[in-house]
Amino acid sequence: MDIKQLNECPDCASSNVVHSQERDQLICRDCGLIYEPLTPAAQSEFAKTHNITAEKPSRKPAKKKVKKKK
């Protein structure tokens, strides 16, 4: 999945998101989620951790949640 095609937050479904081209991330301005695709190394590690065969690496994107400052 191309992150540039996303137009809403995968966590809260808000359309108040911004794309960081420098880091290839989608950042939600409402819930603070930072969404980025997994690197091949991270996919491999995820597969090992979850006992998934190497032929079918996880397509699950990494999700990082950052607390908003008030």
Alpha helices in the chain (DSSP H): 40-49
pLDDT digits (tens, 9 = 90+) for 3-13: 777 889 988 99
CATH code, domain with 58: 2.20.25
Residues of the chain predicted below pLDDT 70: 1, 53-65, 67-70
* Cα–Cα dist 35/70, whole Å: 21
37 CB-near residues (< 8 Å, 6+ apart): 1, 3, 24, 61, 62
- Asked, for residue 70, whether it belongs to a domain, the answer is no
- Asked, for residue 28, whether it belongs to a domain, the answer is yes
32 neighbors 67 (Cβ within 8 angstroms):
yes
Domain that holds residue 46: 3-65
Q: Which of 70, 69, 65 is nearest to 33 (CA)?
A: 65
Domain count, the chain: 1
